[in-house]
């Protein structure tokens, strides 16, 4: 019989374990070493007129120089950049590992778009990095359902469906006590209000 889950951690990746920079309707610009190097190299280049490339460079440089909080000693967003061939920040992976370690026997669930098959190699790489930090093999214990998500409400609905199924399993096993849930998600970079989910706001 599978162990009863008392604590579950839902993990998003993009915007949580990496830093993305909005680029109009395009995919976010990933803050990684390669993009940072290019932006700093060309930040003073004399572009003529409007240039999409110049706008991207300006955005990256702005984020790179931004402080992490009010205390300049805390560093800048440059410290959170991914490696050139990675899609996650080593610093943020460190923090995830610390949370997992502190949680004890929590079930860790992948709720990111990375749960889809096309990102399998990225997930394996991430699991390997977390394993190194924990000093023990780490694998995600589950994934939320693979459904279309275009808004924060869609993500919340997927997480809610997982919790509902988990509660049913706990009830069937006779588990007592509350289920604790921690959600690490940027919810599509949305403000935490104004959502409509299941008819409720």
- pLDDT surpassing 60 at residue 1: no
pLDDT digits (tens, 9 = 90+) for 11-40: 999 999 999 999 988 889 999 999 999 999
User: pTM of this prediction?
Assistant: 0.90
Count of CB atoms within 10 A of residue 188's CB? 15
Residue indicated by tokens 């190194």 = 132
CB 31 within 8 A of CB 38: no
Summarised one tens digit per residue, pLDDT across range 129-187 is 999 999 999 999 999 999 889 889 999 999 999 999 999 998 888 887 889 999 999 99
Report pLDDT digits (tens) over 46-72: 887 778 889 999 999 999 999 998 877
- Does residue 126 carry a pLDDT above 70? yes
| CA 150, chain centre distance (Å) | 16
């Amino acid at each position: 019989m599978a162990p009863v889950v008392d604590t579950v951690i839902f993990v998003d990746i993009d915007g949580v374990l990496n830093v993305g920079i909005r680029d109009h309707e395009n995919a976010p610009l990933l803050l990684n070493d390669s993009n940072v190097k290019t932006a700093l190299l060309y930040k003073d280049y004399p572009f003529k007129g409007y240039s999409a490339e110049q706008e991207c460079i300006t955005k990256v440089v702005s984020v790179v120089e931004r402080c992490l909080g009010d205390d300049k000693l805390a560093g800048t967003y440059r410290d959170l950049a991914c490696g050139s061939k990675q899609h996650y920040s080593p610093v943020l992976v460190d923090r995830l590992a610390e949370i997992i370690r502190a949680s004890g026997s929590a079930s860790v669930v992948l709720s990111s778009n990375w749960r889809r098959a096309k990102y399998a190699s990225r997930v394996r790489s991430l699991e390997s990095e977390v394993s190194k930090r924990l000093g023990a093999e780490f694998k995600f214990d589950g994934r939320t359902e693979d459904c279309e998500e275009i808004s924060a409400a869609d993500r919340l609905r997927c997480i809610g469906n997982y919790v509902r199924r988990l509660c049913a399993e706990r009830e069937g096993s006779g588990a007592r006590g509350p289920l604790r849930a921690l959600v690490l998600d940027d919810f599509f970079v949305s403000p935490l209000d104004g959502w409509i989910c299941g008819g409720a706001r």
